[in-house]
């Protein structure tokens, strides 16, 4: 449970971080909150020779309105997102989901950019960002570029970032008073979701729906979204939640049960988003 030896580099600006990544190459890893990286380093599943600490880069910590979008710095901690008045007013799904991540220690250290870069298929905030149709802004030696989040998650712990790039910002539409719902089923309050579903009414009139832990990455519930766009009922649309997914079977749930949870939690999230019902007790009640 002891990580291999590594060199520690602390930077204070994004440009310094990009330069450090260019200098040390593929053997370097970015350290922000550390709640995803450090455990796998202790298990020797990741053995970087250099850690580049960006936790002190102040320019990466903000939540602000920018036109029709809310811009969120990649270094914004979950607790900061949870308590942000801007986020609560303009995109309330995100602070709610941030409040459900892990425990207070995790929320005070973990960052939004870190959880997106980690690309865990059971992660709460990436699921909400996918439902919102977020944009991921990365920066590298060639400057900045924007990647639609639908193109960002490529596979298990694999993203569209190229060598030498890091996430600097997440951008989401301002949903304001539009309805939203987030439902997840866990064994304990601060566990990773066995399955989770996010639903949100978007400014263009559509409904975004995404699922956690139903495949190698967080997934759009595309069949559900299409059914809702056709005017089908929430009940009918939610029955399609497991289409196009590839849930795994493990000690917590088999694939069939995960598919059942996807349908059930999607229906609950959609009903909450539509104002038909309040938040459910999906976390503590067997579905």
User: Of 124, 154, 173, which residue sits at a domain end?
Assistant: 173
Asked whether residue 197 falls in the same domain as residue 155, the answer is no
Q: Check residue 21 and give its pLDDT.
A: 96
Q: Is there a domain that residue 121 lies in?
A: yes
Q: Check residue 286 and give its pLDDT.
A: 44
Listed in sequence order, the residues at least 6 apart from 215 whose beta carbon sits closer than 8 Å to its beta carbon are 121, 245, 246, 247
Q: Is there a domain that residue 131 lies in?
A: yes
Q: What tokens were used for 91?
A: 């995109």
SS3 label, residue 53: strand
Q: Check residue 280 and give its pLDDT.
A: 46
User: Of 173, 192, 207, which residue sits at a domain end?
Assistant: 173
SS3 label, residue 51: strand
Dump pLDDT digits (tens) for 187-225: 887 788 999 999 999 999 999 999 999 999 999 999 999
> Mind spelling out the 3-state secondary structure of 145-159?
EEEEHHHCEEECCEE
Q: Check residue 283 and give its pLDDT.
A: 46
Dump pLDDT digits (tens) for 114-128: 999 999 999 999 999
Q: What tokens were used for 227?
A: 């059914």
Q: Check residue 278 and give its pLDDT.
A: 62
* Cα separations in angstroms, 233 against 138, 236, 267, 268: 38, 5, 10, 13
Asked whether residue 68 falls in the same domain as residue 159, the answer is yes
Q: Is there a domain that residue 283 lies in?
A: no
Domain count, the chain: 3
Assess contact for 99 and 89: CB atoms under 8 A. no
Determine what percent of the chain is predicted with pLDDT higher than 90: 83
What is the residue range of 91's domain? 58-173
Low-confidence ranges of the chain (pLDDT < 70): 278-287
Q: Check residue 106 and give its pLDDT.
A: 86
Asked whether residue 34 falls in the same domain as residue 76, the answer is no
Q: Is there a domain that residue 165 lies in?
A: yes
Asked whether residue 251 falls in the same domain as residue 273, the answer is yes
Asked whether residue 31 falls in the same domain as residue 129, the answer is no
CATH code at position 246 = 3.30.390.50
Q: What tokens were used for 100?
A: 């459900």
Q: Check residue 190 and give its pLDDT.
A: 77
């Amino acid at each position: 449970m002891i990580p291999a030896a590594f060199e520690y580099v602390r930077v204070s600006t994004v440009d310094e971080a990009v330069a450090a990544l260019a200098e040390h190459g593929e053997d370097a890893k970015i350290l922000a909150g550390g709640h995803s990286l450090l455990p796998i380093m202790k298990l020797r599943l990741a053995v970087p020779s250099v850690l580049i600490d960006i936790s002190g880069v102040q320019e990466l910590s903000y939540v602000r309105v920018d036109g029709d979008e809310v811009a969120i710095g990649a270094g914004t901690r979950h607790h900061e997102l949870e308590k942000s008045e801007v986020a609560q007013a303009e995109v309330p799904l995100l602070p709610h989901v941030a409040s459900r991540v892990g425990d207070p220690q995790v929320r005070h250290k973990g960052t939004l950019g870190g959880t997106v870069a980690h690309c865990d298929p059971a992660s709460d905030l990436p699921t909400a960002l996918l439902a919102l149709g977020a944009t991921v802004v990365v920066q590298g030696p060639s400057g900045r570029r924007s990647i639609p989040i639908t193109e960002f998650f490529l596979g298990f712990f694999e993203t569209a970032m190229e060598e030498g790039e890091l996430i600097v910002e997440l951008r989401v539409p301002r949903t304001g008073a539009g309805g939203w719902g987030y439902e997840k089923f866990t064994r304990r309050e601060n566990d990773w979701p066995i399955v989770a579903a996010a639903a949100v009414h978007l400014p263009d009139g559509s409904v975004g729906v995404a699922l956690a832990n139903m495949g190698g990455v967080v997934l759009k519930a595309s069949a559900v979204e299409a059914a809702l766009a056709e005017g089908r009922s929430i009940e009918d649309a939610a029955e399609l939640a497991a289409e196009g997914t590839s849930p795994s079977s493990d000690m917590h749930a088999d694939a069939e049960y995960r598919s059942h949870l996807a349908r059930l939690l999607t229906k609950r999230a959609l009903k909450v988003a539509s104002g038909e019902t309040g938040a459910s007790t999906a976390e503590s009640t067997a579905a």
